[in-house]
Structure 1
Amino acid sequence: MSDIYKTRKTLLLRIKDQYNDDAWAEFSEVYKRYIYAIIRRMNINAADADDIVQRIMMNLWKKLPTMTYDEQKSFRAFLSVVTKHEVLDFIDQGKRQVKRDQKAFDEDYLNSIRLPEIETIAKSEWQIYLTNRAFAIMAKDYDELAVEGFRMCLKGASVAEVAKYMEAEEKVVYNLRFRMKERFAKEINKLRQDLE
């Protein structure tokens, strides 16, 4: 991927060409793990989640090129709705299959799936996704020890604990925490603007 900050609008325009492999590879990199995380949080096992992600990506490949997109609405919200419908279709198909052939699926598994509120899951997974992506971007400019120290600060570790871990003076940790916190907030905001 040449530029991690390609705008959502630009990316959505580029994928209107179904055969633009670079655009679809970028789209997949940006959204596939997020979709998978939502599905797993909906109590779908890993193998089925992989299949559902592939179905969603194929449906998006077919539909997005002809779709007109309302820029005022969140693309993330659109993806969560698409994901929800695909999971519901999966469950319905599984139940129909069980009726046709009791041995094809484990009915207990299908009945055990409880669909929590999709938007709650989607928001939570999106925050995790943005946080991980921001850390990956920052890791290019900070050494691993500094990034881990900042993670510790975010998780509630004291400056003294972080300084001991980093084998640095506390004032160095205060300074690093301030700089990285500012950069982290900028990265999160940029990602939200570009990807939501």
Structure 2
Amino acid sequence: METRTSLISQLKDPTAQTAWGEFVEAYRPLIVRVARAKGLQNADSEDLAQDVLTIVGRSIAHFVPGSPGSFRRWLRTVTRNLVVNHLTRSKGPVGSGDSAVQQMLLQIPVDDDPTGTLFDLELKRSRFQSASAIVRAEFSESTWLAFWQTAVEQLSIQTVAERMGKKQGAIRMARYRVVHRLREVAASLEDE
């Protein structure tokens, strides 16, 4: 789920309530899931998500879109840093008296950080959920079920064909059509 450039531009206007609502709806659950996966309690995860969104609100005016995914990387870095800060705070004082440790943490490449990988996985999950909600309505229940059982539940085509009383070719075609449409919708969600 790439963040639309138009949405980022709208976020720079603090009165753009619709844009902020859309942004919070898309990213708050993602931030909470990442925080929970890193071991934070529910309340702490909610607080962390609020802190991330507050930082975005204060800093978005200075954000300059660069390459595709630059906003996502920035948001991932903010989330990672707040998770690290929370985890180090909750463990008690650290024996370092200077900012060198903080600088070392900031030098860790985002791609090597498990929080970054988790963030990307959660983005993909979110994008799949959004695309699925759109695409499911476009297909019959049996076509969707054939896709779901073979692609998501990973049942064999033969098993699904037997269960549904259909030929294996029909199951393959149903899965192909849904997967193809999901990719189209997911790509359009990225491009918006």
Q: 2 CA distance for matches of 1:147 and 1:133? A: 15
Distance change in 2, residues 1:37/1:179 (3 Å): same
Determine the structure 2 residue equivalent to 1:13: 9
Deviations along 1:153-178, one digit per CA (max 9) or x if unpaired, are 21432222222444444333222112
Identify which of 72, 82, 86 aligns with 1:86: 82
Determine the structure 2 residue equivalent to 1:24: 20
Q: What is the deviation of 1:37?
A: 1.8
Identify which of 166, 185, 188 aligns with 1:187: 185
Determine the structure 1 residue equivalent to 2:145: 148
Given residue 124 of structure 1, which amino acid in structure 2 is its aligned partner? Answer: L
Deviations along 1:39-96, one digit per CA (max 9) or x if unpaired, are 12212122211111111112212221x2232231522211110101111232344345
Q: 1 CA distance for matches of 2:42 and 2:187? A: 31
Identify which of 134, 137, 147 aligns with 2:134: 137
Contact 1:149-1:165 within 8 A present in 2 as well: no
Contact 1:35-1:79 within 8 A present in 2 as well: no
Given residue 77 of structure 1, which amino acid in structure 2 is its aligned partner? Answer: R
Determine the structure 2 residue equivalent to 1:62: 58
Q: 2 CA distance for matches of 1:51 and 1:148? A: 38
Contact 2:149-2:155 within 8 A present in 1 as well: yes
Q: 1 CA distance for matches of 2:171 and 2:2? A: 33
Q: What is the deviation of 1:142?
A: 2.1
Contact 2:157-2:168 within 8 A present in 1 as well: yes
Determine the structure 2 residue equivalent to 1:119: 116
Q: What is the deviation of 1:180?
A: 1.1
What TM-score does the superposition give when structure 1 sets the normalisation length?
A: 0.75
Deviations along 1:114-172, one digit per CA (max 9) or x if unpaired, are xx622221222222222222212212212444323212221432222222444444333
The alignment of Structure 1 onto Structure 2 pairs a total of residues equal to: 171
1:77 to 2:73 alignment: yes
Given residue 25 of structure 2, which amino acid in structure 1 is its aligned partner? Answer: E
Contact 2:48-2:83 within 8 A present in 1 as well: yes
Q: 1 CA distance for matches of 2:3 and 2:92? A: 41
Given residue 192 of structure 1, which amino acid in structure 2 is its aligned partner? Answer: E
What TM-score does the superposition give when structure 2 sets the normalisation length?
A: 0.76
Given residue 173 of structure 1, which amino acid in structure 2 is its aligned partner? Answer: I
Q: Percent identity?
A: 23
Contact 1:139-1:147 within 8 A present in 2 as well: yes
